[in-house]
Every structure is written in C-alpha cells, then in structure tokens.
C-alpha cells in the first residue's frame, strides 16, 4: 500500500500509512482496490474539538457522507486500522449493522463536489444527516393459529386424556387428537363438551357402576364430605375432567384406593352441581331484596355453611301492611313549629323530659330502651334534614343475611363497624288483630317459629300484633340473644293511632364488622300498662337449675345469662 500511495510511514508501525486523498480517484475504486483496506477509520478532527478533549470519532470510510468540508477534514489526519473486509457476492463491502449508513453514488458525488463552494451564508451551519432510503419493513413470520371448532370425542391413552378436535375451516380428515393442555385456551369449547358428555345419564350410570347413591339429600351429602369447604370447591372443569376419566377407565374393585377416589370424585361433582344451583338462587334472591328495599345501604346474601336455599314464601316489604280488620291511619294529628329542632325547643316533637332530646348529633339514640320516640312528621315545619328525623331516613348500615353455624338458621351480620346508638333497621310485617295472633301463635309455636311481636305499648287490651313470618324485611332474619347488641324502641311518626307504633332497632354498644346482630325477642323494656292481661303464648323465661320444660325450644345464643328456652 505504501508503494502504491507513494507516501512514507507516518508512525513506528509499518502497517500504518498516510494517504493523499487529492490523488485518490474514487471512480476507479473497487472492492479489491488496495486503498479499500479497512471498514473503520479513526478521525481526529481538531476543528470540532474532539482532539482538544482527548476523544476520537469513529466514522465509516468511503461509504459515508462525502462533502468538500468532510474531505478536507479527512485529509488532515486519517489513521487507518488494517483489517480484512467482508464482501457480498457482488463484490460490495458488507458493513456491520452499527456502522451501516446510507448508500451514495461516489461518482456523482465527486462531480458535484468539484463545483461545490461553501458560501458565507452556509458557514457554521450544522448539518443533520438522515438516511435517504426508508428501511424495509421486517417481515416476521408467525406460526399459524388454528381455531378449535368443536371437541368430538374423548379417550384415555397411557393415563393421559386425549380429545378429538374438529378444526374450524378444515374438513374432518384434518381432525387431530390433542392432550388437555393444548386446549386450555378454549375453555368455552371444553365446557360445551363436558356439559354434553357428563350429563345426568352418564353420571347415573357411573354412580351405579361404582355403587354411589346419586339421590343423596344435602345433609347426607355434606355428612359424607365433612372436610369440604364450600368456598374452595374445585373448578367445574376439573371435576368434569375427572368424571370423564372415570367413564373411560373405571377403577376395578380390587383397586380399593382408586375406587374410593372415584366415589369421592362423584360425590364432589354432585355437591358442586347443588352448590352451583344454590349460588344462582342466592344471587337472584339478593337482587330481589335490594330491588324491593331501595335503600342507601346494600343487603348481601351469603351461605358458606350448608346447601340451604332462600325461603320460597317470604315477601320483602319496607313498611307495615294491614291484615284483615286492620286500618293503619298515616295522618298525624299535629306537628311542631320549629325551624331547627333541638333540645332547647320546648315544643319540639323530639324533646324528652327532663330537658333532654331523643337523638344526639349524628343520629344516635339518646334515651334508654322503653322510652317512646316521637319523630317530627309531615305537619312539622322542619325540613328532611331535621335532627329529629332518623328512622324515617331509612337504613344506613350495610347488612348481610347469612347462614349461621350454631343451628339458628339464617342470621344477620353487619358489613361495617356500628357505633353505639346507631339506627339499624325497622321491624316490619303484617299487622294483625290480637285474636288472629292467638290463632297463628299456636301454629308457630308448634313449628318453633318466633315472628310475632305484640304492640302492647299503649293499651291493656293489646289490640295489634306484628307478624313477620311471611311479610317482612331484613329484621325477619335477626336472631334472638339473651345478651343482645340491639334493642327495640317504639316510634311514632305519621300514624295517629297510639296503638300502632313503628318498631325501630338501635345498637346498644359498638358492634364490630362481621359480628352477628341480635335482639331479645322477649325484652321487658317495652313499658305497658300494669293491668295488661297475660298473653296465652309462652315467653322466654329462666327455669330453675336442671329444670326441663317439656315442649319448649332450647335457646342457642350461648350467652352467660342465657334463659335456656324459647317459645313452644
């Protein structure tokens, strides 16, 4: 190369030479030209400031940008690193990706450079260089996706479940047998196949073959599956897959362990089907309750204990309904003239003697159980935000009707913390006469039901009773306790009949989230005239120690002061 260029060695290394670019005819350069000996050049350009800062700039030799200015800079000091070039089949240099720039016609560029003069206006202007050709889009080839149209058959091969798949837009001759893990991304198709092939007939036949009863009631089924948690049952697809395996390869009698596992799989699937139907009914019932209640706070329904379904004959209501021979007059006789009700207003409906008020601030009860509540009514001048309008504003506490584990059936728990004195809900039902209550009472006592609430607040004759057995609200499901966390107050608002108060439940203490709500079914807080006759229906009472009362239902509240027995 030194002989060809006619220049001397510029460094102590014999392979490094200085080139005179003025003598270089770029139109005659080829891939095999001795001048083209490197694909990298290190250029020290003092005018740009790289040398001053001890830095070097790596650029592409020959195939990069060629201008008069750039040629002058190249002439100053170019150190060529000797390295073997790589060429393609056409003899062109193949540059590495990180050094590849735009392609230019060197012949045309050289001719242009001869007439190119740097004008004063262009001095000092920085040039930005971009590729003149758009990069070709990279064509990525993906694996073709096939859509499962239907699963046709199932069999077990060497212990693995295989499914015959019909592919969409392909004829049956292209059907293939696929393992289960190949079908995980099409659960709907799998579910359709399982539903078709794990029907009642298949289940009955399998149950008969493995000697498993398929007519077990919910109690027997749960008894056989004592350790099963209803909230953590396996997925339906998992259970159906196991049933299909049993159908394809039923265990033989001599394999006792596999036989027991097969029986348990059938029982689990039966349980799942019952649970699935139950959850659907519970959700529908919850939707029905909230559509009827139309209150600010929601009511949830939950049963994680057994397979009991919602009561069929219960009608949800928000206020009293009148029974036969009963009229409820919703016309108040008088109202207060307060602009803003409070304890200092002597004529206010909510004033209590001596110098107290029915409610504290933030709608908390301020009187002891047994005292009457007179809320402001439609004739009062105060507005709906009056401090003495609490019960009529409705329930604010979210509640949950749930299945208890102590044998008390359905119960009610709170979904948030309840403060002392907070209004919970009303006790509503069908208002019936005392005579009708006596007739119904004998029937309810025999069945262990306790839904009759006597309105014995004003009259010694006890003319009315609230029956919440068929018609009621969430209070219908609140259980009894001898140490309750709720109490009942009689409330008069718009009804002018002193014998027909509304019944409101308030908290007696702070109640934690998730705690069950209870009140005393036979509370003695309700003050009535001393000459009120005794009711013929038996009430809660505390028997003597070891005394057994025949025909009485046992109280299950487990309180320290439990009275042990409920109604007949």
Q: What is the mean pLDDT of the chain?
A: 78
- Could you tell me which CATH class the domain 148-276 is placed in? mainly beta
CB neighbours of 343 closer than 8 A, spacing ≥ 6?
351, 355, 356, 357
Q: Using the structure block, give the residue that is written with the tokens 């039902």.
A: 429
- Residue 35 confidence (pLDDT) above 90: no
* CB of 491 closer than 8 Å to CB of 503: yes
For residues 346-374, one letter each, b for 16 or more C-beta atoms within 10 angstroms of the residue's C-beta and e for the rest, the string is eebbbbbeeeebbbeeebebebebbbbbb
Residue list, annotated binding site for Zn(2+):
336, 338, 341, 348-349, 376, 380, 382, 386, 482, 555, 557, 562
Average pLDDT value for residue range 184-207 = 82
Instruction: Report the C-alpha gap between 547 and 174 in whole angstroms.
Output: 81
Q: How far apart are CA 540 and CA 521, in angstroms?
A: 8
Give the lowest-confidence range in 23-27, 459-463, 540-544: 540-544
| Residue 474 φ then ψ, to 5° | -60, -25
Say whether pLDDT at 167 is over 70. yes
* pLDDT band with cut points at 50, 70 and 90 for residue 249: confident
Domain borders along the chain are 2-117, 148-276, 315-519
Contact yes or no for 81/38 (Cβ under 8 A): yes
Strand locations in 32-106, DSSP E? Answer: 41-43, 57-59, 78-80
Q: What's the distance, CA 207 to chain centroid?
A: 36
End-to-end CA distance of the chain: give it in Å, rounded: 120
**Contact by Cβ (8 Å): 519, 538:** no
Name the residue among 83, 56, 80, 109 with its Cα closest to residue 5: 80
Higher-pLDDT residue of 464 and 83 is 464
Sequence-ordered list of residues with C-beta below 8 angstroms from that of 173, at least 6 positions apart, any chain: none
Token pair for 395: 């329930």
Nearest to 376 by CA among 518, 492, 289: 492
Least confident among 43-57, 138-152, 336-350, 393-407: 43-57
**C-alpha–C-alpha distance, residues 104 and 108, integer Å:** 8
Least confident interval from 64-73, 322-331, 337-346, 559-568: 64-73
CATH T-level assignment (fold) for domain 315-519: Beta-clip-like (2.170.270)
Numbered residues of the known binding site: 336, 338, 341, 348-349, 376, 380, 382, 386, 482, 555, 557, 562
pLDDT tens digits along 492-532: 999 989 999 999 999 999 999 999 999 998 775 554 433 33
Q: Which two tokens stand for residue 212?
A: 């498993």
- 315-519 matches 148-276 in CATH topology: no
Residue 29 makes CB contacts below 8 A (sequence gap 6+) with 35, 36, 62, 106
Residue given tokens 């119960």 in the structure block: 411
């Amino acid at each position: 190369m030194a002989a060809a260029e006619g220049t001397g060695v510029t460094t102590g290394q014999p392979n490094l030479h200085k080139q005179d670019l003025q003598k270089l005819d770029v139109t005659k350069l080829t891939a095999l030209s001795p001048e083209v000996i490197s694909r990298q050049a290190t250029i020290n350009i003092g005018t740009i400031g790289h040398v001053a800062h001890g830095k070097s700039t790596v650029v592409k030799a020959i195939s990069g940008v060629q201008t008069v200015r750039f040629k002058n800079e190249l002439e100053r000091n170019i150190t060529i690193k000797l390295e073997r070039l790589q060429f393609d089949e056409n003899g062109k240099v193949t540059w590495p990706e990180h050094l590849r720039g735009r392609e230019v016609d060197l012949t045309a560029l050289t001719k242009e450079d001869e007439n190119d003069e740097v004008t004063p206006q262009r001095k000092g202007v920085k040039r930005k260089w971009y590729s003149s050709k758009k990069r070709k889009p990279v064509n990525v080839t993906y694996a073709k996706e096939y859509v499962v149209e239907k699963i046709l058959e199932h069999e077990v091969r060497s212990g693995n479940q295989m499914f015959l798949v019909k592919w969409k837009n392909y004829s049956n001759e292209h059907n293939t047998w696929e393992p289960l893990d190949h079908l995980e991304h099409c659960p709907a198709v799998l579910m359709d196949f399982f539903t078709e092939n794990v029907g009642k007939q298949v289940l009955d036949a399998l149950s008969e073959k493995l000697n498993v009863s398929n007519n077990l009631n919910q109690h027997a089924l749960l008894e056989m599956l004592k350790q099963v948690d209803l909230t953590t049952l396996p997925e339906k697809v998992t259970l159906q897959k196991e049933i299909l395996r049993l159908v394809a390869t039923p265990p033989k009698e001599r394999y006792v362990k596999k036989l027991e596992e097969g029986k348990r799989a059938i029982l689990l699937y039966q349980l799942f089907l019952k649970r699935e139907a139950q959850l659907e009914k519970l959700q529908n019932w919850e939707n029905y309750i909230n559509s009827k209640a139309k209150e600010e706070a929601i009511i949830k329904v939950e049963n994680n204990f057994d397979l009991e379904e919602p009561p069929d004959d219960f009608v949800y209501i928000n206020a009293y309904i009148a029974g036969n021979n009963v009229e409820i007059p919703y016309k108040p006789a008088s109202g207060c003239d307060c602009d803003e009700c409070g304890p200092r207003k002597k004529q206010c409906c909510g004033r209590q003697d001596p110098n107290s008020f029915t409610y504290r601030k933030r709608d908390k009860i301020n009187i002891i159980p047994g005292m009457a509540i007179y809320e402001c009514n439609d004739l009062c001048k105060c507005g709906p935000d009056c401090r003495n309008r609490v019960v009529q504003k409705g329930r604010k506490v979210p509640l949950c009707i749930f299945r208890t584990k102590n044998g008390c059936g359905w119960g009610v728990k709170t979904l948030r913390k309840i403060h002392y004195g907070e209004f919970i809900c009303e006790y509503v039902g069908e208002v019936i006469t005392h005579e009708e209550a006596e007739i119904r009472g004998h029937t309810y006592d025999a069945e262990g039901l306790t839904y009759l609430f006597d309105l014995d607040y004003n009259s010694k004759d006890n003319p009315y009773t609230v029956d919440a057995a068929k018609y009621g609200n969430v209070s219908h499901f609140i259980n009894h306790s001898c140490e309750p966390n709720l109490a009942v107050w009689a409330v008069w608002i718009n009804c002018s009949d002193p014998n027909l108060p509304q019944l409101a439940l308030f908290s007696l203490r702070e109640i934690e989230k998730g705690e069950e709500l209870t009140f005393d079914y036979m509370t003695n807080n309700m003050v009535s005239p001393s000459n009120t006759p005794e009711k013929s229906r038996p009430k809660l009472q505390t028997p003597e120690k070891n005394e057994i009362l025949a025909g009485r239902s046992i109280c299950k509240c487990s309180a320290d002061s439990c009275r042990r027995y409920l109604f007949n």
